[in-house]
Structure 1
């Protein structure tokens, strides 16, 4: 039997730690108590989604993203939150999900403290009360953000604010200030020396690999700081990492902060500010590199700027990866273009060193594979659609029966209070009513499960139909086709390819 899935969503920001009522434990208690009183609870599967320490001003939260993905996969029937602000403080995004996305996937949304249930507002948005609650939550977050930023910028101007993270080559001293890390500082000095001798970023990266010098991520991981994923690094430096080090003014003792501005309150996306808006504090900490060497490197390193650079689009952009090391493949833009693994250029012993595959041949092979897979799937998929509304009248009948039985229990209790029946009669009739109510709820749960299963079958069928139309109507591989169907394509040195599809069960 298909379970009715209830998702309990809990969010706790850093600011919320001040209030016991918003603790994860208290939110869970409130949500579980509410869910237990729902008629669907008897046949329900309860799933918990907890974002601890995240702002509600945007939806860049791991658990809320997972929840939304499950909604889009038709795997969630109902979402319960303590109040609107737990789900989100951004009025536009929160309203979009509650009023557009969730109804599309037949997902019920309940906010307990706001007395809001989408089942009670079918065809409506909840009115002005709901809209004002969205806005109050959003403006509270904006006000807090402005106050926090003002205090931080004041500290920057006084030279008091310091990032918790030191650039490669430095570490925090006992008094919390930056000081050179002897081992890493020596590598930084070597990088500048090689650059001053005329080597470019790629040549320096190869030399660092030849000398078996750990990358910054590997160096930090060896000392217990596992901030970066180094599983695919293998000691190979990236030329872009080298160039970032070469242009970093902090290595001459100047502290630079406030280079980027966050695009939205509580968000992680940011943009680079003009240099005159940065906070630059000279002689802030001990220098690793002499100023004359730094300036020489800045004049010798070639940096190309293309303000009107055209956006390069091709079918497998962001989809083609090396099957050996897992890094994204680069693509040459020539008359005869190739995909190649840039990451392994410094490592001649690597299987994917100098691996090249003709771009047109790879794209053709991917398209042919797609078409053959779709033909096989289409032959297994009979024509016609699933009738989703077959159980609709039966569902409404059960809902009416449950409501009538609950009303009957209330009337029975009123009769007992008024003295129309004695205690024994009340107990007997109530027991009979409870037994019938339980049977009805169980039968209703079965009908709900069947309806959900049919809905999922329809979604799978529609996905296959959409994919089949896209493939058979296309004359070759396109960016639209890969965005619809393909997650990634793994390419190996022997020209073997593996395709990971977006729609997991499309070829089942």
Structure 2
């Protein structure tokens, strides 16, 4: 009988998490074990694939992908690892490779320590090993995040490089000190911004004055970013971008604060970065000496928020981006009617204007009518706040919270149900293992695949519901922020872009309605920042 020749890949992986297990998981130990096993079992080793420093939850590892490419090319028909955790710590993806991908490509898979060898038939214990390996990764991820949060709370900074204007304290790890050689660049950028200059104008001036960029400064200090400046003209050293300027202007590090978790991974399984809402940022104040005064910093933030593209008619910019059609949701375009003896400005639905009937109806409002209506509402609330702040606060909370409380209860109930089901599925996994061990059941594959899919769906649902609840919590406390804004602006006598953008989120314009007497009325809905619609 002709013996099967197994062209074998020895796959080795080690992450910082795995290092905690000691020498038994080191690359050296794995290599020695795998080579010895291959010799004893007469496996023809084609190559060794090593991902040193890569997490098991990430399947975009370079050598893992190289191994997959060699399988696709027909070079390999056998894969050997020390155990299942070396292949991966995401039980869904690991299971897909061991139960679907490898069998469909006629690849024999061996996990030595776990006693898994696909040539000897399906291993009923493998799915549970994969689940346990993922639990280990999940628990490790949680512990690492908790440890970093403690360090961040103490004011530690652990970025690869200190922000422009600062340097790392060589004697106190995680501490920032002002860099007297570069602080002037930060001060100059904020000075220009406080004078009304936008990001484009500031970047242009920095370039013209040949102010060095942060990357060029780091290259001079540490030799990093050499690839950026290799064979490039000298002007590359001063090639500021608008994005760089805006990042500096919005960075609270310059007022002495440390802000962490602005972005995070989707989950411990995925390394894809997502931007987190500001309510979830971890902010620690006064962790180091500031370069910019807080008054200047927040003045610049207001100017950034209120800045709009200039027009010939200065009145147009104050409502820019705020006026929407109530039916289709599109922005209302601004225009001027010059046909009459007395020209006037107006807003009209841009969707209707572009596509006509059948897409939306005519939504139209004169600029002066809108201006007066909005001014009166802001004046009303400002006066009410001055007269009885507590009464206004209760009124706003009552108007907005009834619906939010109902929605919150519904979301909390759904979250609790999903979390309970997730625990139940985990329990069912363990029960299946126990039943299989006691030979009460013989076939597990289909049940495991079904529960794996449900686990994935539950995790997505739980993440979504938690995000929704966090957003609701933020909205519930928004009334106090809104009151503070009104106290800051007092009773307005005119509308300005900074005022509108600070107080209002959007203005919805409804189509005009006529009653039986021909009386024409039109609804204007104002949605205020932090609290929504309360009028």
Q: TM-score, normalised by structure 1?
A: 0.53
The alpha carbon displacement at 1:266 in A equals 5.6
Tell whether 2:218 aligns with 1:223: no
Please give the per-residue CA displacement for 1:104-158, whole angstroms capped at 9, x wherever unaligned. 444332211222233333xxxx24311111011111121222233233334444x
- Of residues 237-246 and 210-219 in structure 1, the stretch that sits farther from structure 2 once superposed is 210-219
Does the residue aligned with 1:195 lie in a helix, a strand or coil?
Answer: helix
Partner in structure 2 of residue 78 of structure 1: 78
Please give the per-residue CA displacement for 1:355-398, whole angstroms capped at 9, x wherever unaligned. xxxxxxxxxxxxxxxxxxxxxxxxxxxxxxxxxxxxxxxxxxxx
Partner in structure 1 of residue 55 of structure 2: 55
Partner in structure 2 of residue 21 of structure 1: 24
The alpha carbon displacement at 1:34 in A equals 1.7
Alpha-carbon distance between aligned partners in 1 of 2:112 and 2:259, rounded to the nearest angstrom: 47
Gaps of 5+ in 2: 309-320, 331-535
The alpha carbon displacement at 1:227 in A equals 6.6
Q: Does the Cα contact within 8 Å between 1:4 and 1:77 map onto a contact in 2?
A: yes
Partner in structure 2 of residue 87 of structure 1: 87
Q: Does the Cα contact within 8 Å between 1:171 and 1:178 map onto a contact in 2?
A: yes
Cα pair distance change 1:297/1:155, threshold 3 Å: same
Partner in structure 2 of residue 248 of structure 1: 251
Decide which of 175, 200, 203 is 1:202's aligned counterpart. 200
Partner in structure 2 of residue 495 of structure 1: none
Tell whether 2:140 aligns with 1:144: yes
Decide which of 2, 8, 12 is 2:14's aligned counterpart. 12
Partner in structure 2 of residue 190 of structure 1: 188
Cα pair distance change 1:104/1:189, threshold 3 Å: farther
The alpha carbon displacement at 1:81 in A equals 0.8
RMSD over equivalenced CA pairs, Å:
3.2
Q: Does the Cα contact within 8 Å between 1:253 and 1:283 map onto a contact in 2?
A: yes
Q: Which has the higher contact order (CA 8 A, sep 6+)?
A: 1
Cα pair distance change 1:22/1:201, threshold 3 Å: same
Q: Does the Cα contact within 8 Å between 1:251 and 1:289 map onto a contact in 2?
A: yes
Cα pair distance change 1:134/1:219, threshold 3 Å: same
The alpha carbon displacement at 1:246 in A equals 0.9
Cα pair distance change 1:214/1:80, threshold 3 Å: farther
Alpha-carbon distance between aligned partners in 1 of 2:137 and 2:261, rounded to the nearest angstrom: 21
Q: Does the Cα contact within 8 Å between 1:55 and 1:266 map onto a contact in 2?
A: no
Alpha-carbon distance between aligned partners in 1 of 2:52 and 2:264, rounded to the nearest angstrom: 24
Partner in structure 1 of residue 342 of structure 2: none
Partner in structure 2 of residue 299 of structure 1: 302
Does the residue aligned with 1:162 lie in a helix, a strand or coil?
Answer: coil
Partner in structure 2 of residue 351 of structure 1: none
Cα pair distance change 1:85/1:58, threshold 3 Å: same
- 1:94-133 map, 5 Å: 94-121=94-121, 126-133=122-129
The alpha carbon displacement at 1:256 in A equals 1.4
Alpha-carbon distance between aligned partners in 2 of 1:227 and 1:12, rounded to the nearest angstrom: 28
Does the residue aligned with 1:263 lie in a helix, a strand or coil?
Answer: strand
Number of aligned residue pairs: 301
Cα pair distance change 1:108/1:156, threshold 3 Å: same
Alpha-carbon distance between aligned partners in 1 of 2:213 and 2:272, rounded to the nearest angstrom: 26
The alpha carbon displacement at 1:185 in A equals 2.0
Decide which of 157, 162, 167 is 1:162's aligned counterpart. 157
The alpha carbon displacement at 1:22 in A equals 1.2
Does the residue aligned with 1:208 lie in a helix, a strand or coil?
Answer: helix
Decide which of 272, 277, 282 is 1:279's aligned counterpart. 282
Gaps of 5+ in 1: 311-508
Q: TM-score, normalised by structure 2?
A: 0.50
Does the residue aligned with 1:284 lie in a helix, a strand or coil?
Answer: coil
